[in-house]
Structure 1
Amino acid sequence: MTPTTMLAALYMPGNERMVIEKNYPIRALQDNEILLQVAAAGVCHSDVFLLSGVTVDTRKYVMGHETCGVPIKLGPKVDSNTIRKGKLYSVSLVDGCMHSTNGTPVAENTIGIGKDGAYAEYIIVTADMLVPVPDGVSPEVAAIASDAGVTAYHAVQHAAKVKRGDKVLIFGVGGLGHLAVQYAKHFGATVYACDFKPEALKLALELGATEAFDLIELTNKTTAGFTVDITIDFVVNNQTFSLAMAALRGNDVNFPSSPTLVLVGVSAENLVFDTLDIVVSGVQIHGSTYGPRSALVAALDLFSKGVVRAHVHSEPLENVNKVIDLGTRNQLRAFEIIGRKVVIPHHNMH
């Protein structure tokens, strides 16, 4: 019997915490839609921005945009030979029709950011959002592959264009950064990492980084002449930007290759820089967000082969507010979580 209501964590305008509803209605499927039983949903730092009022939305919707699940009901126009009930699928954030003029997702049409998302027992998706999960990939890893895995892969492979022989410096060894360290290593780079947490620095070294620095150590290194070819910043504040520029500035400009700075993280800070410094140093600055379906396929493949290992910590769905905000100590805001947190609906808890 198809369920008609579900447990869900909702964005409510004016609330700094999600509202947990035990009987949130599940709407009827349209012809091309699929009802997916959520297996796991990743908790992303961008959820903090949604709840903190940085963005203003007047709608009520289920949050959670990083997920995987199993189809339990198909709309009448969904090809049952293409989408199989009982098979685990990772969910791309947007369907094939939802993009802006430059190809990036339109926020209002993204699951968990305007449309009902995955902090729930069920989610409604379309076939072109689903990517089959290879054998050997757990639901927790398949969930984070859909956003953290894609975003880090796109930043390393497409935005930074990391190749064999490059020296790459990664800022922030968190949910995305710990994957980026491994992607860059996989593509043949010598990888360095910077984080203020000793546990994160230890993890970076375990995952293949040649050296890992805290902020003071990196400042001393760049002062002594340390340089890299590429920096990928998952923190993005004035301190990391300045350190990235210091590590890139000493390189020669060798067209078409130039020192490259990729910004992936989001913060409330406005970056301050000298335009003459940018022009003279030849540093190319790129922003990177999410990635194409092919990046999700590639990320899942690397997970399935054991080339990339995801560090994942699970909590029941009911605890999603605890994960995002433990009283006055917000784990995500304080960047205290090493790896990625996922929440799992009760029906999938072991």
Structure 2
Amino acid sequence: MRAARFFGPGDFRLVEVERPSPGPGEVLLRVRAAGLCHSDLHIIHDELGGYPFPVPLTLGHEIAGEAVETGPGVDPSLIGRRFAVFGPAGCGQCAFCRAGRDNLCTESLAIGLARDGGYAEFVAVPAHALVPVPDGVGDAEAAVATDAVLTSFHALANVARVRPGETVVIIGAGGLGLNAIQVARAIGAYVVALDVQPRKLELARQFGADLALDSRSVDPEKPLLDRRIDVVGDFVGNDATKLLAQRLVSRGGRVVLVGLGSVAGSLLGLRIVADEVAILGSFWGTRAELATVLDLIGRGVLRPPVETHPLDEILTWMQRLREGAVEHRVALVP
């Protein structure tokens, strides 16, 4: 079968490999869609501070597929059903998993990051990582829901705990940011989107932003609005946006860091302490939240923007993603 594999920094190729077989507790999925993610670029180009990824590794952690074979100990009635894959998987036994924070499990192997993922025709995954895809949710939508939507939902709904009537600033109107805008609006917040690309600002307005501004025109020394800013979500994560987020948020507000544009950045210590600004990290989301997100998509509350392309074009689309030429989200179809 075809699979796009990471062989080391700068070495990412579409190759032929053997079709996997599901082991005990696993299910073999025929991949129906796998979403592209900036995190894959960080891996391919060694931008995560030398973090050790196994090689060779089939990347792709946003997966939707159809169960075609079950391993020992797995109910065969799963065969023929559509599932989204909860990427962190979780072991189900550790303190984090027992507390419902399975996105922080350190015992399991994240799919597409620590074990082979979905940039392939087939992938074997733990059965407990499967979340049923509701009727009315397309394969591409289900795939990107597992990260691009789940991450935004987790960051705003459960980490920052956005409340109705609050003001939320979203920095970065890309694949994550456009979903974050929808999540914040669904909660009932007033939403401001910041980006540097006119087209992305236009999309931000289309997806529900009350106000969309070029971040280069923002003076953090002057009030951005005539209302307090309760939450700033940084979905870019470079040094400049982290500083901007800290400067924009109102006294007693929350900054939630999601993007991984850089692995460092400055903290405004006096501002954080004297104004009691909470700096919150947010990673992916939980399996329970993924089920919620898929339900929201199925009911039309969230509409994740996604386009599809053949898996054979993955190198082209990875390059376009790196160049900033992808407007929202791309899902690859084998």
Is residue 98–residue 109 contact of structure 1 (8 Å, CA) maintained in 2? no
Paired position in structure 2 for 1:279: 273
Between the aligned partners of 1:178 and 1:100, the Cα distance in structure 2 is 33
Structure 2 residue corresponding to 1:308, chosen from 302, 308, 313 = 302
* Residues matched between the structures, number: 323
Is residue 63–residue 113 contact of structure 1 (8 Å, CA) maintained in 2? yes
Structure 2 residue corresponding to 1:36, chosen from 19, 26, 29 = 29
Is residue 17–residue 321 contact of structure 1 (8 Å, CA) maintained in 2? no
CA RMSD of aligned residues (A): 2.0
Matched ranges for 1:248-263 at <5 A: 248-249=249-250, 251=251, 258-263=252-257
Pair 1:339 & 2:334 matched: no
TM-score (norm 1): 0.87
Is residue 196–residue 215 contact of structure 1 (8 Å, CA) maintained in 2? yes
Measured after TM superposition, the shift of residue 93 of structure 1 is: 0.5
Measured after TM superposition, the shift of residue 246 of structure 1 is: 2.4
Between the aligned partners of 1:86 and 1:37, the Cα distance in structure 2 is 10
SS of 2:264 mapped into structure 1: coil
Identity among equivalent pairs (%): 35
Between the aligned partners of 1:10 and 1:269, the Cα distance in structure 2 is 24
Between the aligned partners of 2:138 and 2:263, the Cα distance in structure 1 is 36
Pair 1:134 & 2:134 matched: yes
Q: Which amino acid aligns with 1:7?
A: R
Is residue 32–residue 64 contact of structure 2 (8 Å, CA) maintained in 1? yes
Ranges in structure 1 where 5+ consecutive residues have no aligned partner: 1-5, 252-257, 326-330, 346-350
Paired position in structure 2 for 1:67: 63
Is residue 108–residue 115 contact of structure 1 (8 Å, CA) maintained in 2? no
Between the aligned partners of 1:129 and 1:58, the Cα distance in structure 2 is 21
Paired position in structure 2 for 1:348: none
SS of 2:23 mapped into structure 1: coil
Summarize deviations over 1:44-98 as a string: whole Å, max 9, x none. Answer: 00001111123343521211111110001112311134x2x22211000133307
Paired position in structure 2 for 1:76: 72
Paired position in structure 2 for 1:204: 204
Q: Which amino acid aligns with 2:321?
A: L
Q: Which amino acid aligns with 2:236?
A: V
Paired position in structure 2 for 1:232: 233
Ranges in structure 2 where 5+ consecutive residues have no aligned partner: none
TM-score (norm 2): 0.91
Measured after TM superposition, the shift of residue 244 of structure 1 is: 1.7
Measured after TM superposition, the shift of residue 293 of structure 1 is: 0.9
Paired position in structure 2 for 1:13: 8
Measured after TM superposition, the shift of residue 105 of structure 1 is: 4.5
Between the aligned partners of 1:276 and 1:76, the Cα distance in structure 2 is 57
Q: Which amino acid aligns with 2:21?
A: A
Between the aligned partners of 1:270 and 1:13, the Cα distance in structure 2 is 23
Between the aligned partners of 1:98 and 1:65, the Cα distance in structure 2 is 19
Paired position in structure 1 for 2:244: 243
Between the aligned partners of 1:225 and 1:200, the Cα distance in structure 2 is 20
SS of 1:12 mapped into structure 2: strand
Q: Which amino acid aligns with 2:147?
A: D
Change (3 A) 1:66 1:107: farther
Is residue 35–residue 123 contact of structure 1 (8 Å, CA) maintained in 2? yes
Measured after TM superposition, the shift of residue 32 of structure 1 is: 1.6
Measured after TM superposition, the shift of residue 28 of structure 1 is: 3.1
Is residue 65–residue 139 contact of structure 2 (8 Å, CA) maintained in 1? yes
Measured after TM superposition, the shift of residue 201 of structure 1 is: 0.6
Q: Which amino acid aligns with 1:291?
A: G
Is residue 99–residue 105 contact of structure 1 (8 Å, CA) maintained in 2? no
Between the aligned partners of 2:321 and 2:20, the Cα distance in structure 1 is 32
